[in-house]
Amino acid sequence: MVVCNSRSLSSSILLVFLFCFFSFSHGVPHLHALRSPSLSSGELIEEAKYVAEITKGTLRTLLQEVPPGNENSSLVLAAERTYRKDPLNDFKRYTGGWNIDDRHYWASVSFTAAPLFLIAAVWFLGFGLCLMLICLCHFCCTRQSYGYSRIAYALSLVFLILFTIAAIVGCVVLYTGQGKFHNTTTKTLDYVVNQADSTVKKLNEVSGYLGSAKQTGVNKVFLPSNVQTDIDNIEAKIDSSASNLSNQTSKNSQRIRDLLDSVRMALIVIAAVMLLLTFLGFLFSLFGLKFLVYLLVIIGWILVAGTFILCGIFLLLHNVTADTCVAMNQYVQHPAAHTALDKIIPCVDNATAQETLMRTKEVSSQLVEVINTVISNVSNINFAPNFVPMYFNQSGPLVPKLCNPFRPDLTNRVCSAGEVDYDNATQVWKTYVCQVSASGICTTTGRLTPSMYDQIGVAFNLSYGLYNYGPFLVSLQDCTFVRQTFTDIYRDHCPDLRHYSRYIYIGLVMVSAAVMLSLVFWVIYGRERRHRVYTKNYDRSHEENKATT
Ligand SMILES: *[C@@H]1O[C@H](CO)[C@@H](O)[C@H](O)[C@H]1NC(C)=O
Ligand SMILES: *[C@@H]1O[C@H](CO)[C@@H](O)[C@H](O)[C@H]1NC(C)=O
Ligand SMILES: *[C@@H]1O[C@H](CO)[C@@H](O)[C@H](O)[C@H]1NC(C)=O
Ligand SMILES: *[C@@H]1O[C@H](CO)[C@@H](O)[C@H](O)[C@H]1NC(C)=O
Ligand SMILES: *[C@@H]1O[C@H](CO)[C@@H](O)[C@H](O)[C@H]1NC(C)=O
Ligand SMILES: *[C@@H]1O[C@H](CO)[C@@H](O)[C@H](O)[C@H]1NC(C)=O
Ligand SMILES: *[C@@H]1O[C@H](CO)[C@@H](O)[C@H](O)[C@H]1NC(C)=O
Ligand SMILES: *[C@@H]1O[C@H](CO)[C@@H](O)[C@H](O)[C@H]1NC(C)=O
């Protein structure tokens, strides 16, 4: 599911960044107009210009689409594993590697199961023909004298018992195999669903932080209305991605769960029916119930053909699973290569992603500076009442500045004393909010009006959103997230998936072969048994004749 949706997800994430930086590059200069002349030549504007400048460059890199599969550097996934004969191409070897879009891939992997399909066909036709001949003989041929051999009789009995036991063992293998297979597939599915859900949760959180820009009413110091529209768009994009991902996840996971349950049920039924068939067939032929034996033979004839086909399907599934596991591993191992997965999961290259990450840090850091400038140059200064836009009767203890998590060179910085950090800055600032008169002048002690507090909160949320979720958004953009998911699947789930799909396939082969041979020996043993009875009767009547003469 992650895979299905990552195309739209990635492109929307790309859009998010586009909008994000677009907003800042256009939005920040508005500070210029909104701040009073006393600050117009101050640092605030310089910073704003700087933010605009650095984001323009980012825009250009982000606009570049993910480069299409470059033939020169493309990596054939699971090349060794998938080097198989391709019946669609004159049985030449298939060299395209793992690629579920390629019908040659499917043809070549289906061909691995060909022997099993062939056995099913040969059995169905061959044994059908035998049954017809037996029928014909039964009705048309005259009874010939029977030759009876003790050895043939004993051998047929031994084989009958042997194949019955083999069939029972096969059923047990199949039954335990399906339990484990179901367990493994469910665990894998749960893991993938969990990854998707945590992505949706984080996207919703990001959306929550960006969404605070939506607040309307108070005059916008940091976010003029056109910027707000852009941020609303970003938020809508993220929400729609999250909603799509969530809807697809729940829909697909339910479908897959239903499918797995059906497979499980089908395998249990097959194991049970085969067990019953073997057991009854053995009993009936032992007691010489000819009609019932032939009835079971006909049922078994069709069932065995069916299980051989199922076997083929499981072998195919097993091979595709193993191919996919190898392909996922190679995809993770070669992050720079272009592969068949690029069509499904488009990723930006590492350099672009690192660039984006730097930009999120930079913008986040600049927003902190903007907030701090307002705090130190407006809130924490006692202006004369005639200094109108700056004066709002601010008084009381000074508002602490927000800790900038980055140094100017964007390396991590530890907070200095007296700074508040992202964790509780808004709570701390809340204690500095005063009550205001109708004209927006503080009537109680405090250095932030409620409207200022809200606007600082919006800038804070944007800064925090980029700081906290930037790496996550970048990991979606450059597929680090997908690679991590693949690594986990390859390490934790692939061995079991491979092992138990093989287990089921072997169980099915055992059951089909053993039941097939049992069927044959029900008929052979039945005949031998009748010959024996007939010969005994013949001998007895012969001796009686001798005795009377
Ligand atoms: C692929 O390699 C050939 C020569 O080896 C070169 O001419 C061509 O430009 C390359 N294509 C790309 C997309 O790099
Ligand atoms: C900041 O974001 C949080 C979490 O989404 C939200 O609860 C809060 O109201 C936002 N703050 C502002 C000032 O919008
Ligand atoms: C979400 O799904 C709808 C319909 O299923 C589609 O029209 C829309 O483009 C999708 N949005 C994203 C961001 O993928
Ligand atoms: C996801 O499902 C919810 C509820 O079923 C629906 O309201 C929403 O529109 C769906 N979203 C998309 C993008 O399909
Ligand atoms: C991307 O580059 C950074 C350093 O520039 C490096 O630490 C990281 O491992 C690279 N990631 C990938 C997936 O190549
Ligand atoms: C406050 O504004 C003055 C100009 O009015 C400027 O020189 C000073 O650097 C500013 N202080 C801060 C912390 O931005
Ligand atoms: C904020 O966090 C700091 C350290 O984490 C703590 O010392 C301070 O009391 C907290 N303030 C509030 C208002 O929670
Ligand atoms: C200014 O604030 C003080 C409290 O700090 C208050 O007593 C005073 O009335 C306020 N002045 C105006 C004009 O509201």
Average pLDDT of the chain to the nearest whole number: 79
pLDDT for 176: 93
Percentage of residues in the chain having pLDDT higher than 90 = 34
Nearest CA to ligand 3 atom 6: 244
Give me ligand 7 centre to Cα 432, in Å. Answer: 15
Residue 405 lies in a domain: yes
Residue 203 lies in a domain: no
Residue 464 has pLDDT above 80, yes or no: yes
Strands (E), 231-324: none
Q: Ligand 2 in contact with 212 (CB < 6 A)? A: yes
**In ligand 1, which atom is closest to the CA atom of 70?**
13
Nearest CA to ligand 5 atom 9: 350
pLDDT for 55: 39
Give me ligand 2 centre to Cα 206, in Å. Answer: 11
- Which range, 15-24, 55-64, 309-318, 377-386, is most confident? 309-318
Q: Ligand 3 in contact with 233 (CB < 6 A)? A: no
pLDDT for 172: 94
Residue 73 lies in a domain: yes
pLDDT for 2: 33
Nearest CA to ligand 1 atom 2: 72
For β-strands 85-86 and 92-93, DSSP reports them as: antiparallel
Of residues 221 and 548, which shows the higher confidence score? 548
Give me ligand 8 centre to Cα 387, in Å. Answer: 16
pLDDT tens per residue, range 155-164: 989 999 999 9
Q: Which residues pair with 86 in a beta bridge?
A: 92
Low-confidence winner among 78-82, 206-210, 345-349 (lowest mean pLDDT): 345-349
| Dihedral sign of CA atoms 326, 332, 335, 340 in order | positive
Residue 302 lies in a domain: no
- Domain closes at, from 54, 71, 105: 105
- The Cα–Cα gap between 509 and 312 comes to 9
- Specify the number of domains making up the chain: 2
3-state secondary structure 130-170: HHHHHHHHHHHCCCCCCCCCHHHHHHHHHHHHHHHHHHHHH
The reported pTM is 0.75
Nearest CA to ligand 8 atom 8: 443
**CB-based burial of residue 395 (10 Å sphere; 0-12 exposed, 13-18 middle, 19+ buried)?**
exposed
Residue 233 lies in a domain: no
pLDDT for 100: 83
pLDDT for 430: 93
Tokens at 259, concatenated: 């499918």
Give me ligand 2 centre to Cα 283, in Å. Answer: 76
Tokens at 434, concatenated: 């005063």
Q: Ligand 8 in contact with 442 (CB < 6 A)? A: yes
Residue 238 lies in a domain: no
Of residues 494 and 46, which shows the higher confidence score? 494
Residue 71 lies in a domain: yes
Residue 309 lies in a domain: no
Q: Ligand 6 in contact with 278 (CB < 6 A)? A: no
- Domain closes at, from 105, 123, 154: 105
Q: Which residues pair with 338 in a beta bridge?
A: 74
Nearest CA to ligand 1 atom 7: 72
Q: How far are the Cα atoms of 37, 317, 406, 450, 460 from residue 219, in angstroms, in the given order?
A: 18, 62, 30, 12, 17
- The Cα–Cα gap between 479 and 481 comes to 5
pLDDT tens per residue, range 499-518: 999 889 899 999 999 999 99
- For residue 73, the ligand closest to its alpha carbon is 1
Give me ligand 1 centre to Cα 72, in Å. Answer: 6
Amino acid identity at 88: L
**In ligand 1, which atom is closest to the CA atom of 73?**
14
- The Cα–Cα gap between 449 and 453 comes to 6
- For residue 434, the ligand closest to its alpha carbon is 8
Determine the average pLDDT of the residues in 398-423.
91
* DSSP summary character for residue 420: B
Give me ligand 2 centre to Cα 167, in Å. Answer: 66
- Domain closes at, from 105, 137, 168: 105
pLDDT for 110: 92
Q: Give me the half-sphere count of Cα atoms (radius 13 Å) on the Cβ side of residue 453.
A: 20
Of residues 457 and 492, which shows the higher confidence score? 492
User: Range of 470's domain?
Assistant: 350-477
248 alpha-carbon distance from chain centroid: 11
- For residue 247, the ligand closest to its alpha carbon is 4
pLDDT for 60: 35
pLDDT category of residue 269 using cuts at 50, 70 and 90: very high
pLDDT for 48: 43
Amino acid identity at 265: M
